[in-house]
Chain A
Amino acid sequence: MFKDKDRYLSIVLISPSIIAVLIFIYGFIAWSVRVSLSEWKGLTPDYTFAKLNNYINLFSDPRFQVDIRNTLIFTGVFVVGSIVLGFFMAVMLDQGLKGEGFFRSLFLFPMAISYIVTGVVWRWLMNPAEGDRISGLNLLFSNLNLDFLINKWHTTETWGIAAIALAAIWQMSGYTMALYLAGLRSIPIELREAAQIDGATELQIYRHIMLPLLAPVTLSALIILGHMSLKVFDLIVAVAGKQLPLDVPAIYMWQTTFDGLFYGRGAAIGILLLISVAVLIIPYIRYTLKTETQA
């Protein structure tokens, strides 16, 4: 059906990209694995085989334990917060109110700006100063007589990372809203109408009809947001710099590799991050491509 010349040409044209992906993604991953199994620390590469030592040491490393704890807290707050908020925003905007487009654009605009900008601004909003020096959101709460809301934000012990998750929710909840809104719009209007005729209340319609039909959207949102929070990096750097209590694996990797020159350890953190992301993403890609071919 196709001419041979065109078939060869198509392979020739796509091969630079495929080779680039092979080298810069898969080749580099393999290279990182090799570094992670080596004793390399310092400026000169040292590929002496170190077995799994870098990995084993990480799990007994108190800093890495803080990282795991912070990642879990951040993921929990960020994912649940963005999904719940995004869902309610989508439902509200699905009611055919005037100004829907305005609110939709407003809830989405933080997606256009960088985590660094978000982090720099939120750092000042989450100023933990007390007494006469109170400022930022705490000052706002105090002026509004909402003193019970005043808190130490990211400087709170153990849970400080949750405050940064709040800034991440500000940035990303519009995204879940957009996903849910697209999902809601794809549900046929007849379904709602049928339920209404049967006497279902609006709440029942959302609870028993819409929510189950939106399960695939929730799954996508869970996976996309979950994998983002495993990788979280710039936002925390911009809010907190390299403070140990707010450390996460991505920052540890960056600091230990490029400041500390512990290449072996840095590579091991990178590979652990990759494995945790792959566990979420590989089934997701398979599932998406399968439903695509069925459609």
Chain B
Amino acid sequence: MKTKFRIGKNWLYIPLIALAIFYLLPMYVMLVTGFKSFEEIDLQTMWNLPRGLALDNYIEAYGSLAPSLWNSFLMVIPAAAISSMLGSLNGFILAKWKFRGADFIFPFILFGMFIPYQSILIPLVVFVNATLRPLGLGGIPALVIAHVIYGIPITTLTFRNYYASLPQELLEAAKIDGADMLGIYRWILLPISIPSFVVVLIWQFTSAWNDFLFAVVLTSNRSWPITVALNNMAGSQIISWNVQMAGSLLAALPTLLVYIFLGRYFLRGLLAGSLKG
């Protein structure tokens, strides 16, 4: 029956290819500009292919963005790791070990996923300045803490939905064998939740890497992650557009690579974010 749908559908490639070009245009400009030598750079020849493969733009962009690229890695890795551990534990308890009021609490946690952070930004900055900064935990550690805390809703939701889909018999059998709660979590659920860990790790990695709002209010010059550094680079009159293009690609590369190699998991995280895990 399915073959019936395929007959005479080849004209669909025309709109599909047109759309593919639309999606690739910005990537094309980023890549092509990055590989041009400084003499070839001209806004009027923006769409031309490069004559050779020069790396001048990437070298210059890396030169000024390298510290913030490292800041981003330093921030994103612990943020993603801690977030997913917390999310897994919360999800397990909310899905399989319901205490009284668990169903009442859950929507309140969920709402936190959607709030505009402008509504908590002033207290957050005041809090960080009063407590974390004097302890030497301003900048990147503060950013990690912000991503972990404001990541609780989405990570909890993803794990809860996954654990809720597992049959209750799995737990009952372990209970009869005398396993306690932590035993069940450690020996039964944790080993089979690797795919969910990948989903949540990728999700948190991507959103922390791409975040701008928390970064711009919580970090300063030395602790800028890549988004803030790139935006400042783009706003400056001194750095030319070709270097900005190369810098954009450097800033996009880590999350793009994750997407290219682990796209399947990325999509699952995306759909979880619309509550339809």
- A residues within 8 Å of B by Cβ? 2-3, 5-7, 9-11, 13-14, 17-18, 20-21, 24-29, 31-32, 35, 45, 88-89, 92-93, 95-97, 103, 105-125, 127, 129, 132-137, 139-140, 143, 170, 174-175, 178-179, 182, 189, 193, 196, 220-221, 224, 227, 230-231, 233-234, 237-238, 241, 249-250, 253-254, 257-258, 263, 266-267, 269-271, 273-274, 277-278, 281-282, 284-286, 288-289
Q: Known: A14-B93, A89-B19, A267-B122. Contact between A273 and B116, CB under 8 A?
A: yes
Measured CB to CB, the closest approach of chain B to A172, in angstroms, equals 11
**Are B26 and A112 in contact, with the CB atoms below 8 A?**
no
9-residue interface stretch from B49-57, B136-144, B189-197, B227-235: B227-235
**Are B181 and A9 in contact, with the CB atoms below 8 A?**
yes
Measured CB to CB, the closest approach of chain A to B194, in angstroms, equals 21
Find chain B residues with CB under 8 A from A10 CB. Answer: 93, 97, 99, 181
**Are B116 and A230 in contact, with the CB atoms below 8 A?**
yes
Q: Which B-chain residue is minimally distant from A239 (CB atoms)?
A: B234
* B252 in complex: contacting residue of A25, A113, A270, A288, CB < 8 Å: A113
Q: How large is the interface on B (under 10, 10 to 19, 20 to 34, 35 or more residues)?
A: 35 or more
B186 within 8 A of A: no
**Are A21 and B112 in contact, with the CB atoms below 8 A?**
yes
Find chain A residues with CB under 8 A from B235 CB. Answer: 241
Measured CB to CB, the closest approach of chain A to B241, in angstroms, equals 5
Measured CB to CB, the closest approach of chain A to B143, in angstroms, equals 14
**Are A285 and B99 in contact, with the CB atoms below 8 A?**
no
**Are A109 and B90 in contact, with the CB atoms below 8 A?**
no
Q: Which A-chain residue is minimally distant from B148 (CB atoms)?
A: A20
Bound: A175/B13 CA distance, A = 21
Tell which of A25, A266, A278 has the most Cβ of chain B within 10 Å.
Answer: A25
Find chain B residues with CB under 8 A from A237 CB. Answer: 212, 231
Measured CB to CB, the closest approach of chain B to A165, in angstroms, equals 15
